[in-house]
Structure 1
């Protein structure tokens, strides 16, 4: 039967917690033009390329997203009529208890379908106060153990509760197709696909309760486990999937490509850095979705479960659609006919791409090994080698830029270049033999590296 929070601690305790001659770098394409590094010519220097390296297996994973599975999840969640935290918990066909049990069963089916993979599933009960009442609720959790010690942890989350009108009525219809059946459908689809794939980092999938009432479910997960047991450096990032299923607003506008990425400021915060990495991964593998970095943590006056993580010092990003139809929010009108299935498939593939790239790639170089020194003409950047790395990416950013302004690819652990001072920060990622880049090192201020 269900395992409780103590099982979470047991599961995650399984985690096992030179200088080279300069070589001409490869300048990678971005939306903005950048200058090619000025380096002495050498016979073995690689040709300039305008393509970010891609791992063909990540591209193949994207094709595994299935519309029928997404609709299967959505249809079941909507069929419970409401998933309000004050709704029934003792019926199999209605209320948040029925939704919790169905999700637990869906997570369990993924586990049993992969008997040779270390997957654990449980619910995390918690109690919170809302509207003068003590309310019991449960998060549903699955952990996919990573293959590489020290590769860290990524959390992928989506809230499964819904809320209607009036918001305190637990019996009012609140089908929650888009908010947030769409995010849960994407979460379950990514879980289904990643369970069949190798990944270096550990993945934790969480369906949160009690987001609509103030993020109490994600706060309980952070407070009862993460803050006590997982330092920020071990949790590489949290990706929150919240409202991914509609490309329309109330005025009839349609935006079939935009996917907004919200993250906590300031611009060099861990969350903003994670958002940049996710956006780079998505744009590397597809142009069917345009990841647009936002300058705020969420929409004005709104919230999301990513905030529970960033407030505790963990990097976290919200993935959400480009437009919103407020006529379908938090009422009986958030139904299946408001879902654009093609758009949901695209946003799910985008989120899957970010998860696969970040969790499947090599860890970055140790940030303490990154150094910059002056040369007679220009500067030399050096860093420690990462085992199994075949190349490295150096991401550069101006002070006010939300996204990276330039990305360089080099095959060694040193780069001599005269243009470093044009940029505010830099970060480095390792590229494996298949062309997959993982997470980047924390961004370092270029001028401070010289001190």
Structure 2
């Protein structure tokens, strides 16, 4: 796919990402001792409450710097569960940069602020949580500082989530909040463990970031699953096409960080705050390091058999975190400038051509029609039909059995959406009522 497919953020955005600020923010988060969800909510210096209030103050400072362009809200609920034996107050810290034209169209960037030690129920021991997930929280705060200096036709939501380590509670809270607000969520970029480049075995890679995306949709109905088995769609969830979009964008942002697409909803046997969004039918992906260091996450601070354990600042790679932040900033800017993807339908039954149809999309002046072989990983480099103002097309001689078709929407300034595939479940809206 050509890099023109997704216009990157301006050079000023990339230049404005500050490695020094990212480092300072992670240092500050670590200074709270522990940010465990069950730690103190009232202590002014230690625990989840102090950390949360600090993050809120950072958002409010960014709001002041942009003349009030950010609305800061703190959705909350009471939660309990297997890792929360007694009900506890759970709070997310959220800054909303409302779009100038279509404020209900939303792209979300998020990271979780809570941390843990070896025992997931240990709410008192020091749990620095530098990389997991001070790195993601710092990325979100930095993205808000940078992008709040610009305006976009659609809304960007910057979210610092709580309760991830206890069971993805903050992600569920924000997904529910999005539904309550009536938001049309076109993408969620979850950043969790994005600030390190070496693994616990000594293997290092600072030139890739992994982007995880689901295949079959978490919210698929029996009808959708049956249709996908017959007609395809297992490799074309909205999240999968967001992953392709970000991968195509990366080379235009910087020449020393590429996306390694991982076609799984998350790492093997593990989870992240993108999962509650997927279960609600919202397109979501997870950014995480190319190689994880298991000695320096979910570990008590200690030295054992000559090995140092614990998620500390000195084990991080801040130039790498700055690169991942720049890519997120570029992806957010591109998505916030673009229309929603259409929801195309392809008809090629018993004929030597393919008809593709879709409904008009707000903010779009034209559409690109894409194709790829059914066994190909990526859309072809150029659209099969470019910049058509119509909402249907007859592709003569294209035998639809052999192809996956998709459509992207193009705004007047050339900003382009991700591709939505013309397969069961390929549209970017939640599935409901057997659709």
Alpha-carbon offset, residue 411 of structure 1: 3.4
Correspondence for 1:429 among 405, 408, 412:
408
Q: Which runs of 5+ in 2 are unaligned?
A: 217-234, 302-309, 427-435
Correspondence for 1:204 among 145, 157, 166:
157
Residue 94 of structure 1 pairs with residue 69 of structure 2: no
Contact 1:89 1:97 in 2 (8 A): yes
Contact 1:293 1:403 in 2 (8 A): no
Q: Which runs of 5+ in 1 are unaligned?
A: 1-27, 30-50
What is the rounded CA distance, in whole Å, between the counterparts of 1:79 and 1:324 in structure 2?
23
Q: Normalising by structure 2, report the TM-score.
A: 0.81
What is the rounded CA distance, in whole Å, between the counterparts of 2:275 and 2:363 in structure 1?
35
Alpha-carbon offset, residue 160 of structure 1: 0.4
Residue aligned with 2:4, SS: coil
Partner in structure 1 of residue 220 of structure 2: none
Residue aligned with 1:255, SS: coil
User: How many residue pairs align between the two structures?
Assistant: 391
Partner in structure 1 of residue 241 of structure 2: 273
Residue aligned with 1:367, SS: coil
Alpha carbons of 1:423 and 1:407: their partners in 2 closer, same or farther (altered >3 Å)?
farther
* Cα offsets for 1:183-240 (capped at 9, x unmatched): 01111111111111121211121111010011112112223x2344437xx1112110
Contact 2:196 2:317 in 1 (8 A): yes
Partner in structure 1 of residue 386 of structure 2: 410
What is the rounded CA distance, in whole Å, between the counterparts of 1:439 and 1:295 in structure 2?
17
Contact 2:103 2:155 in 1 (8 A): no
What is the rounded CA distance, in whole Å, between the counterparts of 1:193 and 1:420 in structure 2?
46
Residue 141 of structure 1 pairs with residue 94 of structure 2: yes
Residue 356 of structure 1 pairs with residue 324 of structure 2: no
Alpha carbons of 1:411 and 1:132: their partners in 2 closer, same or farther (altered >3 Å)?
closer
Alpha carbons of 1:89 and 1:108: their partners in 2 closer, same or farther (altered >3 Å)?
same
Residue aligned with 2:178, SS: helix
Aligned ranges 1:7-406 → 2 under 5 Å: 29=2, 52=4, 55=7, 57-115=9-67, 117=69, 119-129=70-80, 130-149=83-102, 152-223=105-176, 225-230=177-182, 234-266=184-216, 267-331=235-299, 332=301, 333-364=310-341, 366-367=342-343, 392-406=367-381
* Cα offsets for 1:167-190 (capped at 9, x unmatched): 211111110110001001111111
Alpha carbons of 1:395 and 1:69: their partners in 2 closer, same or farther (altered >3 Å)?
farther
Contact 1:88 1:94 in 2 (8 A): yes
What is the rounded CA distance, in whole Å, between the counterparts of 1:201 and 1:155 in structure 2?
11
What is the rounded CA distance, in whole Å, between the counterparts of 2:332 and 2:253 in structure 1?
12
* Cα offsets for 1:270-315 (capped at 9, x unmatched): 3223322232333454442221221211111111000011011111
What is the rounded CA distance, in whole Å, between the counterparts of 2:169 and 2:104 in structure 1?
29
Residue aligned with 1:342, SS: helix
Alpha-carbon offset, residue 120 of structure 1: 0.8
Alpha-carbon offset, residue 389 of structure 1: 5.5
- Aligned CA-pair RMSD: 2.9
Contact 2:111 2:159 in 1 (8 A): yes
What is the rounded CA distance, in whole Å, between the counterparts of 1:220 and 1:53 in structure 2?
33
Alpha-carbon offset, residue 146 of structure 1: 0.6
Residue 444 of structure 1 pairs with residue 417 of structure 2: no
Alpha-carbon offset, residue 402 of structure 1: 4.5
What is the rounded CA distance, in whole Å, between the counterparts of 2:277 and 2:6 in structure 1?
30
What is the rounded CA distance, in whole Å, between the counterparts of 2:61 and 2:35 in structure 1?
22
Alpha carbons of 1:76 and 1:425: their partners in 2 closer, same or farther (altered >3 Å)?
same
Q: Normalising by structure 1, report the TM-score.
A: 0.78
Alpha-carbon offset, residue 150 of structure 1: 6.9
Partner in structure 1 of residue 432 of structure 2: none
Residue aligned with 2:368, SS: strand
Q: Which moved more, 1:396-405 or 1:180-189?
A: 396-405
Alpha carbons of 1:80 and 1:52: their partners in 2 closer, same or farther (altered >3 Å)?
same
Contact 1:397 1:406 in 2 (8 A): no
